[in-house]
């Protein structure tokens, strides 16, 4: 991170995350990392793609489908849908919960103070925002920023599943309890989901869970734990074979 980036982050009142050299196993680069793992099979969100009418859609078709979606009541209260943003060839995917008020206005995820902190976290790992793809479990803002209802998450699940299939990320970083519980189809608290690598669906895509940046802004003492999660994500990325082209 150069001096200009550091100055920008400080001006925006965002804590600076300093990248550290991470110790990797002294083995070939594709050998699995020795960490606890959890597999999520048929109950996981990604498997809805196989039976969904959007399962075969390309990017532009999928974006159009989301833009015009009226499957749940959120379509009546949104300003616009928030499809997702970033590099559609990304090796990293970040998944959050749902759009907030500013995201609803701008049509882009993570654009407020939490988004600034997320950008800083990604930059510290060596992956600027432009190099990853960022999406949410819900594509519309719940009124009052309440938690998503199960039926709302179910309506949006095929859209996110198709985004994951199209990107085929080497690592998914899931931020926040609500996002992780929906993505992994579990009711475990975030404290139990952190610290291990989850594997999603038939493709066994690695997922690392960490705290939501908005929570870290309210509880800065937890940033050390979040940094540990990012280190786990980096080790997992290094141990995951590159995608075939």
- Residues 15, 17, 18, CA angle at the centre, nearest 5°? 140
Asked if 133 and 170 touch (Cβ cutoff 8 Å), the reply is no
pLDDT at 243: 77
- Residue 243 CA from chain centroid, whole number: 19
> HSE of 3 in the Cβ direction (CA atoms, 13 Å)?
0
Antiparallel, parallel or unpaired: β 171-175 and 205-210: parallel
**CATH class of the 35-239 domain in this structure:** alpha beta
Among residues 43, 45, 56, the alpha carbon closest in space to that of 161 is found at 45
| Structural domain spans, the chain | 35-239
Among residues 131, 136, 142, 130, the alpha carbon closest in space to that of 95 is found at 136
Rounded to whole angstroms, the Cα distance separating 113 from 106 reads 14
Helix axis angle, 113-125 relative to 3-11, nearest 10°?
160
Asked if 107 and 81 touch (Cβ cutoff 8 Å), the reply is yes
Sign, Cα dihedral of 158, 38, 121, 218: positive
Rounded to whole angstroms, the Cα distance separating 174 from 211 reads 8
Asked if 226 and 72 touch (Cβ cutoff 8 Å), the reply is no
Can you read off the two tokens belonging to residue 100?
A: 């907030």
One digit per residue, the tens of pLDDT, for the chain of length 245 reads 555 445 444 534 445 555 454 444 443 433 444 455 555 443 455 555 556 789 999 999 999 999 999 999 999 999 999 999 999 999 999 999 999 999 999 999 999 999 999 999 999 999 999 999 999 999 999 999 899 999 999 999 999 999 999 999 999 999 999 999 999 999 999 999 999 999 999 899 999 999 999 999 999 999 999 999 999 999 999 999 987 75
Phi, psi (5° rounding) for residue 154?
Answer: -65, -40
Rounded to whole angstroms, the Cα distance separating 181 from 226 reads 17
Among residues 195, 44, 14, the alpha carbon closest in space to that of 110 is found at 14
Whole-prediction pTM: 0.83
pLDDT at 26: 41
Q: What is the SS3 assignment for 171?
A: strand
């Amino acid at each position: 991170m150069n001096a200009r980036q550091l100055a920008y982050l400080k001006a925006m009142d965002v804590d600076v995350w300093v990248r550290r050299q991470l110790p990797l196993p002294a083995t070939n680069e594709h050998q699995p990392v020795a960490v606890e793992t959890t597999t999520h099979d048929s109950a996981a969100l990604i498997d809805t793609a196989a039976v969904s009418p959007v399962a075969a859609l390309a990017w532009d078709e999928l974006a159009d489908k989301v833009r015009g979606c009226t499957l749940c009541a959120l379509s009546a209260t949104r300003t616009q849908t928030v499809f997702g943003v970033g590099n559609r060839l990304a090796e990293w995917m970040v998944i959050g919960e749902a759009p907030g008020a500013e995201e609803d206005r701008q049509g882009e995820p993570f654009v407020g103070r939490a988004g600034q902190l997320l950008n800083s976290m990604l930059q510290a790992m060596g992956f600027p925002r432009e190099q990853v793809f960022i999406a949410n479990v819900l594509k519309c803002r719940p009124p009052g920023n309440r938690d998503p209802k199960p039926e709302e998450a179910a309506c949006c699940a095929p859209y996110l599943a198709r985004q994951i299939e199209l990107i085929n990320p080497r690592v998914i970083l899931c931020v926040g309890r609500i996002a992780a519980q929906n993505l992994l189809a579990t009711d475990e608290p975030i404290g139990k989901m952190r610290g291990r690598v989850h594997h999603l669906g038939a493709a066994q895509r690695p997922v690392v869970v960490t705290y939501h940046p908005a929570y870290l802004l309210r509880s800065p003492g937890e940033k050390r734990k979040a940094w540990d999660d990012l280190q786990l994500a980096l080790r997992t990325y290094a141990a995951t074979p590159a995608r075939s082209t």
